[in-house]
């Protein structure tokens, strides 16, 4: 992988999507899998839906289709003014695909699901060096650990999605503060390069995070 890829994992309502709010919308593109309202004031003025005819400079798109997201990655990768690409509610890509094929018997559907996730995350890692790709997804507790939520065992046992990312944050709420966990503490499968972050818990502010990442590598 050539660029920085970031995975943010957490329970619903723990500050995952809220972490976007301080990013510069002129340099950010959001793929919103479920098309849910973003949880911060004024987002509709900041993020408008891309349409090649009526709004070619849009910085937002809602879809559950892997193929559409793959094409969007190509579009964003060529648009050098965009420095941050976010895929929000990533786990619903798997959920949507599973429900669409729920009546199909056999395990082929799980193999295809795993391949679709693998191909998409791999493509994010092959984007230009100055494009930071961020995946936001739900967590699941498994064998005493909080980790990326999947459907089917192949992604857990054969791939280990967290291993495909440079940085993995887990959300954590403490005394009303919304935080990111930056290192594995035995429960959260978080990780970041040694010395990138001074503390094991940091503010859930992606603007601050990306400034730290840029500073670290420069």
Secondary element (H or E) of residue 172: strand 167-174
CATH number of the domain residue 97 falls in: 3.40.50
Asked if residue 135 lies in contact with residue 6, where contact means CB atoms within 8 angstroms, the answer is yes
pLDDT of the residue at 1: 40
Question: Residue 23: exposed, middle, or buried by beta-carbon count in 10 A (0-12, 13-18, 19+)?
Answer: buried
pLDDT of the residue at 83: 97
pLDDT of the residue at 155: 61
Is the sign of the CA dihedral 85, 180, 136, 6 positive or negative?
positive
Per-residue pLDDT of the chain (218 residues; tens, 9 = 90+): 446 899 999 998 899 999 999 999 999 999 999 888 998 999 999 999 999 999 999 999 999 999 999 999 999 999 999 999 999 988 878 766 665 665 666 666 677 778 888 899 999 999 999 999 999 998 878 777 887 777 666 565 666 788 889 999 999 999 999 999 999 998 998 999 999 999 999 999 999 999 999 999 88
Residue 91 is part of which domain span? 5-217
Classified as helix, coil or strand, 173 is strand
Secondary element (H or E) of residue 115: helix 108-125
Nearest partner of 109 among 148, 142, 154, judged by Cα: 154
Half-sphere exposure at residue 183, Cβ-oriented, CA atoms within 13 angstroms: 10
CA–CA gap between residue 44 and residue 116 (Å, rounded)? 30
What is the number of structural domains in the chain?
1
The rounded Cα 178 to chain-centroid distance in angstroms is 17
């Amino acid at each position: 992988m050539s660029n920085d890829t970031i995975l943010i994992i957490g329970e619903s309502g723990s500050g995952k999507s809220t972490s976007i709010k301080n990013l510069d919308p002129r340099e950010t593109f959001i793929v919103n899998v479920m098309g849910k309202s973003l949880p911060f004031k004024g987002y509709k003025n900041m993020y408008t839906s891309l349409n090649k005819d009526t709004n070619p400079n849009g910085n937002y798109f809602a879809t559950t289709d892997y193929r559409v997201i793959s094409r969007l990655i190509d579009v964003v990768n060529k648009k050098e003014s965009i420095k941050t690409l976010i895929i929000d509610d990533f786990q619903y890509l798997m959920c949507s695909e599973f429900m669409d094929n729920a009546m199909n018997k056999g395990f082929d559907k799980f193999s295809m699901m795993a391949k679709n996730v693998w191909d998409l995350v791999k493509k994010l890692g092959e984007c230009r060096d100055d494009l930071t790709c961020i995946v936001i997804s739900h967590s699941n507790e498994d064998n005493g650990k909080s980790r990326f939520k999947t459907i089917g065992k192949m992604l857990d046992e054969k791939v280990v999605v967290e291993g495909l990312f440079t940085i993995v944050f887990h959300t954590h709420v403490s005394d009303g503060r919304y935080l990111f966990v930056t290192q594995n503490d035995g429960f959260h499968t978080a990780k970041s390069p040694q010395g990138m972050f001074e503390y094991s818990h940091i503010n859930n502010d992606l603007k601050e995070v990306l400034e730290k990442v840029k500073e670290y590598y420069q």
